[in-house]
Amino acid sequence: MIKAILIFNNHGKPRLIRFYQYFAEDLQQQIIRETFHLVSKRDDNVCNFLEGGSLIGGSDYKLIYRHYATLYFVFCVDSSESELGILDLIQVFVETLDKCFENVCELDLIFHMDKVHYILQEVVMGGMVLETNMNEIVAQVELQNRMEKSEGGLSAAPARAVSAVKNMNLPEIPRNINIGDINIKVPSLSPF
């Protein structure tokens, strides 16, 4: 079981949090802080597993994380999950994000947290791995997006126009802080 999925940036700002077990909001924030504290002080070339988050889990739980440029993707899992498997899953998830957002960068996650959630929902459901095939995930996400568009129809058009205008006024959105080298070598990655 996956107990929680946390995405935060290099400064510990949460970009997506998904707990599969209930924690009150303040406790959630504490967990994020603690996890960030644990993860951020680690070098990039050490292993991706961490034990000893005191707030979440316990002895049976591990933090498995990956660091992409500005973002940390952290999965808190118990011993029924394969460690290397989860690492692959994170990779699959990030690659899916990359496909859906076309060159994903931190800003995509900042402004489209809801969409990231929808994508994640196709990968993990209720703490269990739902789908690991990237093409399948992308296909389902796109079908749902298409449905949303067709529902929007006439009434959604003005809103889209406005938001386009709003975005135009903000030239400072840099597109170049992308998530970085997604094709990090995964030793265990195999045809999943």
Partner 1 sequence: MALKIVKGSIDRMFDKNLQDLVRGIRNHKEDEAKYISTCIDEIKQELKQDNIAVKANAVCKLTYLQMLGYDVSWAAFNIVEVMSSSKFTYKRIGYLAASQCFHESTDVIMLTTNQIRKDLSSPNQYDTGVALTGLSCFVTPDLARDLANDIMTLMSHTKPYIRKKAVLIMYKVFLKYPESLRPAFPRLKEKLEDPDPGVQSAAVNVICELARRNPKNYLSLAPLFFKLMTSSTNNWVLIKIIKLFGALTPLEPRLGKKLIEPLTNLIHSTSAMSLLYECVNTVIAVLISLSSGMPNHSASIQLCVQKLRILIEDSDQNLKYLGLLAMSKILKTHPKSVQSHKDLILQCLDDKDESIRLRALDLLYGMVSKKNLMEIVKKLMLHVDKAEGTTYRDELLTKIIDICSQSNYQYITNFEWYISILVELTRLEGTRHGHLIASQMLDVAIRVKAIRAFAVAQMATLLDNAHLLTGNTQRNGICEVLYAAAWICGEFSEHLENPLQTLEAMLRPKVATLPGHIQAVYVQNAAKLFATVLRSQEGNTDSTTAQETSQLMIDRLPLFVQSANLEVQERASCILQLVKYIQKLQQKDVEVAEEVSALFAGELNPVAPKAQKKVPVPEGLDLDAWINEPPSESESEDEKPKAIFTKEEPKHSRPRHTEVDEKELARRREARKQEQANNPFYIKASPSSQKVYQETPGVEHIPVVQIDLSVPLKVPGLPMSDQYVKLEEERRQKERAEKKKKEKKKRKEKRSGRGKKHDSGPESEEDITPAHMVDIVTEEMPENALPSDDDDKDPNDPHKALDIDLDKPLADSEKLPVRSHRPTEAPKSPAEDGDTESAAPQEPKKKSSKEKKEKKKDKDKDRKKSKEEKKKKKHKHEEGGEDLLGGQPDEPVVQSEEPNEEVALPTSTSAEVSDLDFWLSNAPVPSNSQEAATVAAAAPIPQAASGAAPDSEPDEPKDTEVETKSSKHKKKKQKKEKEEKEKKKKKKHHHHHHHSDGGGEESVQNGTVEEEEPLPPMSNYCLLAENSYIKMVCDIQGNLQDGSQVVVSVIFENKCNSFLKSMEFNVLDSLNSKLQRPEGAGPHDGLTVPFQLPPGVSNEARFVFTVQSIVMPQKLKGTLTFIVKNEDSSTHEKLDFKLHFTCTSYLITTPCYSDAFAKLLESGDLKGSSVRLEGVNMPFHHLLARICFHHHFSVVERIDSCASMYSRSIQGHHVCLLVKTADQTVSIDAKCDEPSLLGNVLDEIKQTFSQC
The footprint of partner 1 (CB under 8 A) covers: 1, 14, 16-18, 20, 22, 24-26, 28-29, 42-43, 45-51, 80, 82-85, 87-88, 110-114, 117-118, 121, 125-133, 136, 140, 143-144, 147-148, 151-152, 154-156, 158-159, 162-163, 166-167, 170, 187-192
Q: Give the length of the chain.
A: 192
Whose Cβ is closer to partner 1: residue 55's or residue 121's? 121
Residue among 27 and 103 whose Cβ is closer to partner 1: 27
Minimum CB separation from partner 1 for residue 99, in Å? 18
* Separation of CA 139 from chain center: 18
For residue 85, what are the contacts with CB-CB under 8 A and spacing of at least 6?
Answer: 188
DSSP-assigned letter for residue 39: H
Nearest-angstrom CA–CA distance, 7 and 28: 13
> C-beta of 178: minimal distance to partner 1 in Å?
18
**Residue 98 C-beta: closest distance to partner 1, Å:** 20
Question: Among 190, 31, 177, which Cα is nearest to 107's?
Answer: 177
CB of 1 vs partner 1, minimal distance in Å: 6
The answer to whether the Cα torsion of 93, 95, 96, 97 is positive or negative is positive
